[in-house]
Amino acid sequence: MFMNTRNMIFTVSFLIFSVGGTKAAFAATVPFTENFTSDSANWFNATSSGPVDWQAAGGPDGSSYATTDFNPINSQVDDTAVLFRAQDEFGSSGNQFVGDYVTEGVTEFSTFVRHNAAVPVNFFVRFSTAINFPGGVAIDFVPVLPNVWTEITVAIDALNPQFVTFEGSDFATVFGAVGHIQVGPSIPAALAGVDTNLTIDLDQPTIVPEPGSGLMLLGVGVCAMMTARRRRHNGC
Q: What is the pLDDT of residues 141-153, one digit of tens each?
A: 999 999 999 999 9
The helix, strand and coil proportions of the chain, stated in percent and rounded to the nearest 5, come to 20, 35, 45
Q: pLDDT band at residue 11, thresholds of 50, 70 and 90? A: very low
Q: pLDDT band at residue 4, thresholds of 50, 70 and 90? A: low
Separation of alpha carbons 137 and 162, rounded Å: 8
**β partners of residue 154:** 109
Cis peptide leading into residue 185 (ω within 30°) = no
**Which are the contacts of 61, defined by CB distance < 8 A and separation ≥ 6?**
204
Q: pLDDT band at residue 93, thresholds of 50, 70 and 90? A: very high
Q: At residue 66, what are phi and psi to the nearest 5 degrees?
A: -95, 150
- Give the pLDDT of residue 2: 58
Mean of the per-residue pLDDT values of the chain: 87
Q: pLDDT band at residue 36, thresholds of 50, 70 and 90? A: very high
Separation of alpha carbons 109 and 207, rounded Å: 5
Separation of alpha carbons 123 and 152, rounded Å: 8
Q: Is the pLDDT of residue 92 over 80?
A: yes
Mean pLDDT of 48-75: 98
Q: Which amino acid is at 98?
A: V
- Give the pLDDT of residue 1: 57
SS3 213: helix
Separation of alpha carbons 144 and 88, rounded Å: 28
Separation of alpha carbons 148 and 140, rounded Å: 16
Q: pLDDT band at residue 156, thresholds of 50, 70 and 90? A: very high
Please tell me the class of the 2-210 domain: mainly beta
CB 146 within 8 A of CB 122: no
Q: pLDDT band at residue 222, thresholds of 50, 70 and 90? A: very low
Mean pLDDT of 104-114: 98
Burial 74-105 (b: 16+ CB within 10 A, else e): ebeebbbbbbbbbbbbbebbebbbbbbbbebe
